[in-house]
Amino acid sequence: MPIIAVNFKVYPQVMGAGALRLAKICDEVASKTGAQIIIAPPMTELSRVAAEVDIPVFAQHADPARVGSSTGHVPLEFIRESGGSGVIINHSEHRMGMADIEFLVKKSKYLSLETIVCTNNVPVSAAAAAFNPNYVAIEPPELIGGDISVTSVDPSIVSNSVKEVKRISSDVAVLCGAGVKKGEDVKKAVELGAEGVLLASGVVKAEDPKEVLLDLLGC
């Protein structure tokens, strides 16, 4: 069964109590179907959401900050202690330095946090694989938030990312994203070698997120 990672971003639908509402829907679908659904709520809702669901809760970002005298930054230790079980790193809306990405992936491993490193093309996917994260998520920035799935517009960016990532580190799984909205997009992603998808608006802005999730999972 494919992995579905839902980035809540900071859409109006997930402000305040909205984050928990969507989190519970994802939790319910995962529980009923046995699917692996990962959610990434807004930073300010992380602890509240993590306390109420069983599925893995990821932070949308982490700072390469150390525990101690740092203000407004989010170190990995705080993600874990707030109930998080992983982190999205280097999302196209929050790019990071190469050395910082490596630091975060390595430290996450030490803290037993899972990592999704986002990338924008095949060489960057290959580079990210050198850090041995759990997932590399390839998302062409020009397709993010759009209506056509990367798997239709640019299938080779997915299959070539898989090929290059596996060449560099066979343990790393590939997700893909951008424009993913339907079950057939997920099915195509898996055919191209991905183990799942990372998506946002397709679920968060849906009128009926549960229906969309079930469709994505092919249920």
Q: Is residue 59 near its own copies by the rule CB under 8 A?
A: yes
Least distance CB 157 / its own copies (angstroms): 14
Count residues contacting its own copies (CB under 8 A)? 71
The span of 2-10, 152-160, 187-195, 209-217 binding its own copies (CB under 8 A) equals 2-10
Among 6, 25, 26, 42, which residue interacts with its own copies (rule: CB under 8 A)? 42
Q: Is residue 209 near its own copies by the rule CB under 8 A?
A: no
Q: What are phi and psi of 193, to 5 degrees?
A: 110, -5
Among 134, 145, 187, 218, which residue interacts with its own copies (rule: CB under 8 A)? 145
Which candidate, 13, 40, 18, 193, places its Cα nearest to that of 114? 40
Q: Is residue 128 near its own copies by the rule CB under 8 A?
A: yes
The span of 42-50, 108-116, 175-183, 187-195 binding its own copies (CB under 8 A) equals 42-50
Q: Which of residues 72-111 bind its own copies (CB under 8 A)?
A: 72-75, 77-79, 81-84, 88, 90-102, 106
Q: Is residue 164 near its own copies by the rule CB under 8 A?
A: yes
Catalytic residue among 45, 61, 102, 139: 139
Q: Is residue 22 near its own copies by the rule CB under 8 A?
A: no
Least distance CB 197 / its own copies (angstroms): 16
- The question of whether 139 is a catalytic residue gets the answer yes
Q: Which residue has the tokens 């999704």?
A: 116
Give the single-character DSSP code of 193. Answer: T
Among 153, 168, 190, 214, which residue interacts with its own copies (rule: CB under 8 A)? 168
Q: Which of residues 169-208 bind its own copies (CB under 8 A)?
A: 200-201
Q: Is residue 219 near its own copies by the rule CB under 8 A?
A: no
- The question of whether 73 is a catalytic residue gets the answer no
CA 205 to centroid of chain Cα atoms: 17
Which candidate, 97, 99, 89, places its Cα nearest to that of 137? 89
For the CA atoms of the chain, what is the radius of gyration?
16
What lies within 8 Å, CB to CB, of 130 at 6+ separation is 168, 169
Which candidate, 153, 155, 152, 95, places its Cα nearest to that of 128? 95
Give the single-character DSSP code of 149. Answer: -
118: helix, strand or coil: strand
Torsion sign over Cα 101, 103, 109, 113: negative
**Residues labelled as active-site residues:** 91, 139
